[in-house]
Amino acid sequence: AFETQAAIADGAVEIDMVLPVGHFRSGAAGRKAALQDVQVVCGVTRNAGVALKVILETAALSDAEIAEAVSLCRQAGVEFVKTSTGFGPGGATPHAVSLLSKHASAEAGDGPAAQVKASGGVRTLSDALVMIRAGAHRIGASASVPIMTELTQLQRTSSSTALKMLQDDGVALQPAPTPSSRA
């Protein structure tokens, strides 16, 4: 929590933390320890009005572990669950994003709903659109400039199939909220 407090003092408006997978995978006591770690950081971020994103490294987890990890995050009250750091065994996949979305929704129970951030391996506009269709609320991409350049070019042509697909799905493309726009 000290690092979180320091980052917030330095002006951070969002915090990313990695789920302590070693604890998480080491049985009931370990899962309780993982929950407590996330709760402590979540308490600091909540008190500061800062969003917390917990990175699950979904490529290293089974579907059942993903479901349980999302439940743990929801119990702690995090705002986002995130697929990957980009340094783990793999990045975002449509399957993982779909699982996160399913288990992070309000209908899944276990506390307040969380949003989903697809991160790791999203390199093109097509990749981003697939992740959005799978349930991502946000995209994390080191290729964000080329992705947004392609999107801007598509927006200039009213016949864009990709944009029509998004509109048909009810997706509104908008920038992430600024700190002053958070409730």
Q: Which residues are catalytic?
A: 16, 82, 117
Helix H segments across the chain? 2-9, 21-24, 28-48, 63-76, 94-104, 125-134, 144-155, 161-168
Return d(Cα 33, Cα 17) in angstroms, integer: 15
Q: Which two tokens stand for residue 140?
A: 């994390």
Return d(Cα 72, Cα 113) in angstroms, integer: 12
Return d(Cα 14, Cα 178) in angstroms, integer: 10
